[in-house]
Every structure is written in structure tokens, then in C-alpha cells.
Structure 1
């Protein structure tokens, strides 16, 4: 919000330079800057237009004669709002406007001796229509720089934290400045009378509207607003429209209360504050059609929606030059409701900005009455009806502030008398009690002053945090127990870092295109108000983000990448914490050495077995066994170098090489490996603390405690067995059947696969037999082998032992 310093001075008697005011505002918690309004322009003067004629050769141009009281100028202009008798600003020959020097110029056969100026050409508005028309009481020959304050008027612009909606007005800012410098704020109350000729038919059918006050004003005359109001709006960054609309904006800036004026004759029947009906539409004041949802709060009449509550009005009831009767609305709407609707519709207005941060419900009638008073003065008419719906009046909360709390938090002792004075300066009614103070929280601070600590902050910031001496904070020596979930993720993170991987952090929202390229469904959780198309959905896997990281690294010529991320994947009813890995190129940066036939290298390339070994090592490090790898059918993985990972017959993740076709489309190397493991389940219900199956954390928590096993006392007996099996038989199934067929089998290792034909293969395994209580004889082992083969044939009927 930006306001002229002179406007603030109307509420407090202050002679302190604006720069010093801004400096103090920054030290007390409101970010502020001071800037000068416009720039001084040489060679401009006020002139009165003596005559206006059409250009004889150019249809869209006018030829005007204007005087500054000493000289008559002939000016050609394209502005259609100039009239005989109007007072405007003339840039004379030699003046510089927006970097262009004004000279005499011929338009056809007519010479122009200057240029009439608009707000845009004066450099004080980004956009304007027509030249600036000055009040009739301004005489020709005066300096427009002085009249407008160009290069002289100080503008204070503030940025607030979301809890300080009370400062979003001239009134509120004056209150804050007055409290800082110990100056009492002035208050002026309107004097109006409302004839109860008509009682507006207004019905509030939603709890999200806590107060609604409507006033009918009849027989208004729509015209430009007084110049002093226009000038304040211009200096605050708003363009004047007409007297009624300008006054609603004027009061919004001055009082912080959004208002809206409806053309009463365009309203059909009664006025309702209600939830929108699903699919209802409205064309808003900005000319855009908006489709509404049931969650949106609207203002409607018997037949149509006429405004989106707290956000923007409808084009169907706007005030224009033909308006004669108006309904002036002042209301307080639920801040969360307004914020959600404004975000969903991508509409941000001065009204929604204030409703989102809280509006003073008690100041509503005062602000609206000031608007009525101004409308009656500038537009004429008569206030003939008023209705105020306020079912639950504001009741101030009481908060006690203890001296010992102030000292404990701020580190300095501030007497309760000084605390009371500081809070009362902020217009927070405060009384002194035995051990501190008691404050009644006014409605304009009801949104952020809830607890004793909030009052400590108010006392501290107003006294000045920069005035407190240095003091070491007290640190508790009580130990804090970290959660098992945190420690498990830390253990995972440390393992991967120790193995040379770098951690990355990515956005959890991504675009749809990557899912289409990978050939997997687009997630169902979408972001309604996404800022970028590449951030429109919540991801349900980490691979899509890690691929994006790789693509960005490739743009910087980084081809060797070993990264991981521990983060969330999102689903409709729950979330998952996963760890994702992307590995490509070489790992372990070092050097190569070659001398004759001597070769040495400290780098190596990632391949499927190395990635699998990394995963296996991690799983063993957290005490998990019985890991099985089954061919994966994920469409973005190479079917010959990929696998789904199972532990205790529970799916926990996958590992694989990127599919070559996907690699080409993604423009990444074909030798890229991706792995993803499900670490833990995160329910949406915070009260759900159960451990879900299929997650490494659950398996880790339920894993058997390792038991020490003595080293073998007796030697093993080794046999090499070659089995002829079907080509499609998975090797891990063969090994599992072999392991289950005898209690004497201690170790099984695969050492050869040989394809006999297109549908048969030979699998050679090295099997070690060992007994814990004796040495095994050859005869005993031979008999055990016969039993093993017999049991295996029962489970794998077409199995044959090759001799």
C-alpha cells in the first residue's frame, strides 16, 4: 500500500520528516520505504482552453486555443475529453516529457505549439485516458508541479506481514506512527442522516459473512470526483473513475474498509449473501467471465450473481454515467473464504487483499457513513434506507501481561506502568494490575493479538528492540528425543552420502508432460491455481523430479551424476516418504594412470549390477534380508535391466535402467539408472499412527534383532550342480527352492547360465553343505543331493540334473 505523507498528517499533527518516519516504521515491524511523487518538469504551465474545433484535415484531431494568462497557444490534440473552459496542463516548447523534447510540430496545415498532458505523460500513472482536467478554481499560468506536488510530495509505501491488516489504511498507519512518536491520533466522525423511507431487502444466508450493512442512496449525479480526492487516489496508485467509485476507493484507503456500490436499478428483487451454485457464472468488472463453485461466497439478487463477495463486483450492476440510485455495501467476509476464492480465480484486488488479512468489524459503520457523507456532498442525492445485519457483535478478549513474562522474553525489565502506556498508545485499552496489566483487545487487532506473548511483542517492538542490550539466551540442557522416523531417514541419508551420492531437493509439484513422455498416468492431485504449466500436479513418484535435475545438469555440461532425494509422493488418501536415486556416467571422481601395460583408475561407470549392489548394501545396513528382484513392467525402464524389489513378499520399490526410447525423448544418456524405495507411509489423518505394510520403515521396525552366531567349527562340502530348466524360469525362484530343500545347505552361488535351445537353459550353481555338529562325509552329502533333486522336481516338474 502506498499513501501520500500529507494524507497521514490529516490524522496526526506531525512535523517529523517522512524519511525518519519510515526508518522508525522499519524498526517496529512494518516494512516501509519513502519515495518522491513524480519528478519536477520544467516548462509546464496551467492553461484555460478558449476554443475547441475539429481539425480540418484530420478527423480524430482537435485544434484548441488555450491561454496561460499571458499568451495564447494553438495546440493540436487527440484527447476527446477537452472542452471549452477546461483547465489543463500544457507542456510548452522546450520542455521534456518522458525523454522527448517538445517542439513546434505541424499536423497537416495546422501547427501545434505544445502538448496537453495526461497522468501517464506526467509520469505519475502507468495508464490514463485523456488529458488531466484540473479544477475550475485553478488559474491559468500556475505551476502544475506545485499543484500536483511533483518532485516534492513524499509517498510512504508499506509491505505488511499477513497478521497486520490493521495497518492497511491511512487511519491504521497514522495510529501506528502516532504510537511510535507518542502523538495522539485525531478522529473525525461523519454527520449524516438516513431517512427510513425504504428498508433494503437483504438476507445473509452464510456464516462466512459476519456483518453486512447496506445503504440506499437515491438521485445521485455521476460525474468526476473532486480534484483533491482524485489527487489522493493518483498518489496512492489508483486511477480516478467517477465520484461514487472514487469515494469507495478513497474510503478503502483511508479507513481500510472495502466498500462496493451497486446500481440499484440493475438489481432484480432482494439481495442475498449466499454460497454460489455449482457452475454459476459472472462477468466481473474486469470483463472476465468466472465460473463459480459451491465453496465461493457471492452477492446475488433473485435472478443472478452480482458480485463475488470480498473479491470483485459484477459488470451487470456496475455504477456508470447513467446510474441514479445506488446500494452502498459494507461487509466483513471470512478471510479464509476470500483468500481461497481469490486464489482459485486468480483475481487479486485491493478489497480481497484486505479481507484476507482482516477488516475491523467495529469500524464498518463509521467508514461507510464517511463514504455516504462524501457521496451526498459530491454526487448529491439522499440516503433513504439502511439495514445492518450483525448477528454476533464483537466482544473484546482480555489478555493479562505479567512483568515477569516481559523480562523473561525480552531480557530487560519494563515496568508495568510503561507497558500500559505503550499499549494504550497503540489504542489497545490497558489497565494496570498488581503483577502486570490487563488489555482489552480492540476489533482492529483481533486477528493477531491472541495470547500474552503477542502483547510482549507489541511492547518490545514499540519500545524498540534496537534499544535492548546484548544478552545470551537461556538454553535448556534437557535432551530432546528424536523420533524413530527422523532417525531412520537420517540413517538412509547418511548411508547414501557415505557412498558418494549427492542429495538434491526438488519441488513436489511438476508438469504433466513428463508423465506423458514416461508413459505413466498423470497424478490425480492437481494444483488449481498453478503459476507455471510445469508445476500443475502433485507428483506420485520421485523419478519425474530426478530426471528434471539430470536435464538441468546436462544443460551445464555435467554428465556424471549420482544423486538422491528423500521426499514425498502424493496420493488421494495418503502420502509416501520415498528415497529416489538417479545414477549415470562415472562415479568417484579421481584420476586415471597409464604407463606401458600398467593401468590404474579411480573412477568407474555405473551399471545395473553396481546399482543393485548399492541397494543391497543399504538394505543390509538397516537389517533387512530376504530381498527378491522380479522383472519390472514399468514402461520407462529397460525390460532387460530392471526389477521390482520385494522383501518378505512385500513390494518396496524398483530399480532399473531408463528405456532407450524414453532416454531419446528426454534427451538424457541411455546409460541412466533410476531406483526408488518406499520408506514410510504418511496418513492424512494425524491421529493414524499405525505402521503400514510394504514400507521399509515398517520392515525395519519389525525386523528380528540380530543374534550372534558362532563361526563354523566344521568344514563345508561343496558340490557344483547344473540344472536344465525352462527358459522363462526365474533364477531366484530356482535358488529359493534349492535353499528350502535341505537344512544342510549353507550357501548357494550362481556361476553359469547356458542356453541349450530357445526354450531350455542350463543353470549352474555352487552349493555348500555344512552341519553345525559334525563333519559331513561324501556319502552323506551325495545322499543329501539326491534328496534335494527329488524335492526340487516336485516343485519344478520339468527340472533335470545335467551330468
Structure 2
């Protein structure tokens, strides 16, 4: 929210500087984002009056004026503004004045006519973009007064960034209340008089959706003159709050919005038909909005309607057909309370965001509607006149928020904050916050005001006291505590162990969004249906990920397009799979995944360039799994995967438990995913690999190890992993190591066959093995290979 510092000080004026005020607001939770001057530096500009205004003899678009600036002589000034006229009070830059941009005003001749100054527009004084004409000052402006003093231009515009729970501070009234509490000052609110009705003209109101709109006020004002401009003081307050002046009706509703934090809307009463109804939209109903865009309303949208059509999206945006125009002579003024749940998300649903929806979806004071109506009526009638009808109110007490009572215990306050705050100070804080405290039995009973939607439990009251008392005033005292060691399972492996290992392999950790492009995800995982977000950030981030790979591959593409040849990325996070058996309807699985592309090493004259391949990523996966399992417990099975190359993909199993998959990204995905060259990937389920078998102490043999090498020939389609697993499962007790050290195809080997050279290491714990025992074990291995793989011993 952006507002003028001087406007705030009209309500409450602490004796502190702008910087101190900003610091105070920030420390109280109303973070100040920016403090800026509301006008650029200039000097020598005063209030003047155009006494004479005539046509320039040699220029059609110029006028020759005589201007009274309170000096002995009138100033001759040539002006080209179309709104210059006799009797107008204007901003005059005299000779010697310095305007923004270090522009100095000097004596000049324009088309032969002398000019001793300049009549200024808002843009020329650095007060906005309006350069359509010169500034028109009020008729009672004092001639000769410095314009900076007259318009209070030595002012600052303060912009605060509010958290969603502080909707009560989305108006000057709320911010002033906070400043008053922080400085123990009373807030002086402007006097708001009830405007008595002068006509019986009114319009009936029906609440067909009382749960969404439990209170709605309407008032008809006829015979208004919208040719009357808003007063300069109002235009300036709006401008300093970042809002452009449009016309009197819009300016007044915007002014009330900024002053009280209460949105309002005005309809052209003459185009309304019958009574006003607050109802839910019907299916297929359409509405043209004030920005001339047309929307098809959904049935969950609350609308303001007459007896024929929808007029506006309640609490969000008005309709074009019922909007106030320059020819409007009768208006219907609306002031309503819409339940936050009824407005929440509706603006985004239609791709909109308005000042009204920003406030209504966070919560507007349900007791403020009549005050806002009277304030707007008072301002409007002062500007555009008119005959005022009675205020018609429709409400449902059943659905209006009820004030709640809470108890703040002094003992609890002291225990949580760690300090003892004087009871009278606590009472003053609660009173100034509008909580009307009653102290009894060492506790305060408070009634939470309707504008504080964020206070619902005792801890909220403790937070309020601490916030206002000042976090900086709470001494930094270490708490007294007894520490106990937390239970930790030695079998559990933290995710950081995996991260450190991958970092050692040259990977960089990435953090990607949990929502991804549905098109890319469906290409990679056509068999999995992701959860669709009801209100996505964008179309290409509209479904929850079923794997970490779509995000990682997008990050890979991003880096490759920026000339990064060798890229290794990994990520740990959740993937989201729809599951009706889960309480929330979604199975969230902790996962670790990685992608890599490029060469095994950076380019160097002493190293041969070798591109990464399947066995590089397999080695990384084996290293990750080595924390938990022995190599013989893990099996890499050749399996196809929708995202991976059919000939270069594998699934990782421990028994029948699937741990994950790895392989090369399918060539058909390289172009859609924006990849450059071959890319490899792996993904493992962290839940299944985060618990290890603890090492068990075992006796070490003091007897020699015996190695025997054998070479067998098998068909070339035999999987070596299965062959080695078969040997391990034979049950040779003395076999302590098994290694494949050579694979050969060529001369001496039949076509379609391959030769495998294996080393068998045997050792006994109790004695030295004899040759006969060793040979028996070797024979068992050879016979098993013959039986299962039709292997033959190569001589």
C-alpha cells in the first residue's frame, strides 16, 4: 500500500522523522518497501492569477497573458496551454526559477512577444505525467505563495508491503491506528456526518447468497453534476498514493478505499432494472467488464445483478454497461461486506487483480459499511451535488462475523516472552489496539475487533504485545534448558550423504518447481496422470510433477543454451502421484534424481575426449547404493521406460523391490525438451534406499587366498549380471570374491559367442584350502554355468 506521509500525519503525528517512522513501521510488521519524494526538486514557482489572456498575434496555438504574482507589476507570459483563461489561478515559474532537470527560467521572446516566466503543468514540476494543460489551482489560492508550501510538496510517499493477515492496514485509518499504538498517541479521525436523505428515491436489495454477502448497503443519489472536477486536495492525495484522478465519482470511491480500506462501487442508476440482487452467477452467464473485456462467469462467482442481468463481479470488478459515465445524472452507491472465502481466488480465476479483490479476499471490517457509505455520500454531494436517497440495508446476522472473546494470562505472557512487562503498559497496548481489555485475576479478557481477522488465540495476543512493545526492547537472554540427546538410528542415512557424494562426482544441486509443463510431462510419462492445479501460475506450470526429471531436464536445456557443454545436475524432492488410498488423495514420495550430459572431463590437450555413457551413470548409481547394500544385493535389469532409450535403460532392484531406474533419455524427447546431444538420467526412491544394514563384526582369516581363473564361452546375448548372480547364489562358502576381468570376441571364438574371463578368490577361516577342495569349487561353478547358460570351458 502506498500513501502520503502528510496524509497519515493528519490522523496521528508522532514527533519522529520520516526515517524513524519507516523503521518503526517495519519493526512492527508493516515493512516499508520505499520512501520517495512526491515531487522533484524545483524552486521559484509561486501561485499566480491570469488577469488577461489574449491570442498571440503571430501564432494560432499561443496566448499572451498578464499574470499577477503578488508583485508591483503584472508579468507578461506567453503560454501554449489550451486551458489557459482569464481568472484562473495557476503555478507560475518566475524568471530565475529552477525546474526539475536543472531547467532555468530566463527572459525570452516567443514569436516576437516578451515572456517573463512560464505557466507550469504537473509534468513540468515533476508531479506526474499529465502535460495536457497547466495546473488549475483552487480559486481561493493565495497569490504569491510558494507552490511547494501551498501544495505541501515537501512530502514523502511511503509504500508498505503488508503480509496477507494485516488487511486492517490497507487504509490510512488502519496504518494511523498502528502508529498511534506504537507511539502511545490518540488517533484523530475526520468528522463523518450522517447525510440526511432529501428524496425518497431508492432501490430494493435482495440477498440471495447471504453466506457470501451477509451485508449490503445501497443508496441512490440523483441530479448529480459529473462535469464538476474533484478538488485539488483530493486529486493530490490520490496521486501521492499512486492513483490517477478520473472523475468525481471514481475519485471519491478510491479516496474512501485508501482512507478506510473499504472498497466501494457506483452504478449508473438509470440503466438498472428493478431491485438489486446479490446472487451467485448462473452457468454460461457473460459480463463485459469495465476494461471492455468479456468473461464467462462461473457458478462459484458472486455477482451484483438487477432483475435482467449481472452488473458486476462482487468485490472484484464492475461491469461496463452499468458503469458511471460523463452523462450519468443518477448513481446507485454500493457499500458491502463480502465474506473473504467467497472472494478468495475469484479474481485470479479470471486473470484479474484489483484493489477491491486484494482487500476483500483478505478481509474487510464487517462493521464499516455504513461509515464508508456516509463518508462517500458526504464527499460526493460536496463535489457534484445531488439529491440523496435513504440508505437501504440488507443483511443476514447469521452469517456476519461475530466478535470473539479471548483471555491473555499474565503468567503465559511472561513465560513466552521471557520478560515481565508492566500490566498498565499491556493494558494500554491492548486498549489502543481496539481490544477493550478488562483485567481481572491476573489476566486480561479482550474482545477482538471485527477488523482483526488474524487474532483468534491467546498466542496472537502475545504476539501483538511483543510487536508493539518492540522486539528490540526484549533483552537477549539465553533460555535455561536441559538438553537431551535425540534418538538417532545408525541405520538411517540422511539425504546429505547422497548430496555430498554426487557433489564429489561433479554434480551441481538444482531446485526446480514442483509444478511442470503438462505437455512435456505427458511425453515422458504418458502412463502417469499428474494432479492439475486449479489456479496455476502459468499454463506451462499447471500440473504437479510425477518425477523430478522434467524439471531437471528443463534446467539442463537452460544451461546448454548458455554454452555449458558439460552439465551434471541432481535434485532431491517430492514427486506427487494420485492415490485414492492416501488420506489426501496423493502419494508424496521423496526422490533423488540426476541428469548428466557432455564429456567425462573438460577439454584438455593431455586427455582424450570421451563422452559420457550409460556406464558412467550406472557407476554413480552403484556408488549411491553402496551406502546401503552390498553389490550382490543389487540387480540391474534390462527394462524399457517411456522416457529412456529402449536399448540403454535399466531398472534397479533389491530382490523384488524396485529402487529406481537409469539410462539415456529417449532420442524422441531430445528436441521437445530442448536438449543438445545425448543426455543420461537416473531417479531413485529415497524411502527405499535410506535405511542400511548395519555392519557386523566378523572374523578375519589368517590363511592364504587362492585365486583361480577360468574362461568360458557363452552366447553373446547372455547378460553378464545374471551370470555373476548365478555364481554368487550357488552357495560356495569359501568364495570371497568374484570378478569379470576380460570379455573377448574375435579370432578363435565362434560368431554369435563371447568369451568371459572370470577370477574366483577362495579362502577358509579355519585352514588352508587344499587343491582338491579348490578344484571342486571351480568344477561346481563350471557345471552351474553349463546348466544355466550352456557355457563351455575355453581351453
Q: Which ranges in structure 2 are unaligned for 5 or more consecutive residues? A: 579-585
Deviations 1:624-647 (A, max 9, x none): 764333446557756554433344
CA contact (8 A) 1:508 1:539 kept: yes
Deviates further, 615-624 or 531-540: 531-540
The alpha-carbon distance between structure 1 residues 391 and 73, as it changes in their structure 2 partners (threshold 3 A), is farther
1:183 to 182, 185, 201: 185
Distance 2:302 2:248 in 1: 28
CA–CA separation in structure 2 for the residues paired with 1:236 and 1:363: 22
Q: Does 1:133 align with 2:136?
A: yes
Taking the aligned partners of 1:588 and 1:619, their CA distance within structure 2 comes to 24
Q: Normalised by the size of structure 1, how large is the TM-score?
A: 0.80
Name the SS of the counterpart of 2:745 in structure 1: strand
Distance in 2 between the 1:278 and 1:802 partners?
A: 80
Distance 1:259 1:278 in 2: 26
User: What's the CA shift for 1:21?
Assistant: 3.7
Shift of residue 580, structure 1, vs aligned partner: 1.6
Secondary structure of residue in 2 paired with 1:387: strand
Where do 1:253-272 residues align within 5 Å? 253-272=258-277
Q: CA 1:511–1:94 in 2, change beyond 3 Å: closer, same or farther?
A: farther
Deviation, 1:153, is: 3.2
- From the superposition, tell whether residues 580 and 244 of structure 1 become closer, same or farther in structure 2 (CA, over 3 Å): same
Deviations 1:637-667 (A, max 9, x none): 5655443334434543332345789779988
Q: 1:122 aligns with which of 111, 122, 125?
A: 125
Shift of the alpha carbon at 1:402? 1.6
> What is residue 745 of structure 2 aligned with on the other side?
754
Q: Is the 8 A contact 2:708 2:760 kept in 1?
A: yes
* Mapped partners of 1:58, 1:677: distance in 2: 81
Indicate conservation of the 8 Å contact 1:43/1:92, yes or no.
yes
Tell me what 1:240 maps to: 245
Change (3 A) 1:91 1:787: closer
Partner of 2:373: 368
Q: What is the rounded CA distance, in whole Å, between the counterparts of 1:485 and 1:103 in structure 2? A: 86
The answer to whether residue 223 in structure 2 is matched with residue 219 in structure 1 is yes
Match of 1:569 in 2: 575
User: What TM-score do you get using the length of structure 2 for normalisation?
Assistant: 0.81
Q: Residues 342 and 720 (structure 1 numbering): CA distance in 2 closer, same or farther, change over 3 Å?
A: same
Structure 1 residue 258, shift from structure 2 partner: 1.0
Which of residues 335, 349, 374 in structure 2 aligns to 1:330? 335
Q: 2:661 aligns with which of 641, 647, 654?
A: 654
How many residues were matched structurally?
Answer: 767
Is residue 403 of structure 1 aligned with residue 410 of structure 2?
Answer: yes
**8 A Cα contact 1:664 1:670, kept in partner:** no
Q: Is the 8 A contact 1:332 1:359 kept in 2?
A: yes
1:512 Cα deviation after fit: 7.4
- Distance in structure 1 (CA, Å) of the matches to 2:127 and 2:480: 52
The CA distance in 2 between the partners of 1:17 and 1:758, in whole Å, is 94
* 1:587 to 1:503, Cα distance in 2 relative to 1, 3 A: farther
- What's the offset of the Cα at 1:369? 1.6
Determine if the alignment matches structure 1 residue 198 to structure 2 residue 206: no
- In structure 1, the residue matched to 2:635 is 628
Q: Unpaired runs of 5+ in structure 1?
A: 595-600, 681-695, 794-798
Per-residue CA deviations over 1:454-509 (Å, capped at 9, x if unaligned) read 22222223233333333113445244457999855345335545666553434444
Between the aligned partners of 1:463 and 1:31, the Cα distance in structure 2 is: 17
Report the equivalent of 1:472. Answer: 478
Structure 1 equivalent of residue 712 of structure 2: 722
Aligned to 2:304: 299
- The 2-side partners of 1:30 and 1:784 are apart by 77
Aligned to 1:789, what secondary structure does the other structure show? Answer: helix
Measure the CA separation in 1 of the matches of 2:489 and 2:308.
58
Give me the whole-angstrom Cα distance separating, in 1, the residues matched to 2:504 and 2:243: 59
Determine the structure 1 residue equivalent to 2:423.
416
Corresponding residue for residue 30 of structure 1? 30
Structure 1 pair 25/708, CA: closer, same or farther in 2 (3 Å)? closer
Q: CA deviation at 1:730?
A: 4.3
CA distance in 2, matches of 1:68, 1:488: 82
Alignment RMSD (CA, Å): 4.7
**2:155 matched to which residue of 1?**
153
Aligned mates of 1:506, 1:105 — CA distance in 2: 64
Distance change >3 Å, CA 719–CA 90, structure 1 → 2: same
Q: Does the Cα contact within 8 Å between 2:718 and 2:789 map onto a contact in 1?
A: no
**Maintained 8 Å contact 2:196/2:388:** no
8 Å CA contact 1:279–1:293 kept in 2: the answer is yes
Offset of residue 261 of structure 1: 1.0
Classify 1:115/1:271 alpha carbon distance in 2 versus 1 (closer, same or farther; 3 Å).
farther
CA drift of 1:386 comes to 0.9
CA distance in 2, matches of 1:266, 1:763: 93
Residue 432 (structure 1) shift: 0.9
What residue in structure 2 maps to residue 609 of structure 1?
Answer: 615
**TM-superposed deviation, 1:236:** 2.4
Distance change >3 Å, CA 3–CA 546, structure 1 → 2: closer
Native 8 Å contact 1:76 1:111 kept in 2: no
Give me the whole-angstrom Cα distance separating, in 2, the residues matched to 1:586 and 1:780: 43
Partner of 1:436: 443
Say which is worse superposed, 449-458 or 668-677, in terms of deviation: 668-677
Match of 1:621, SS state, is: coil
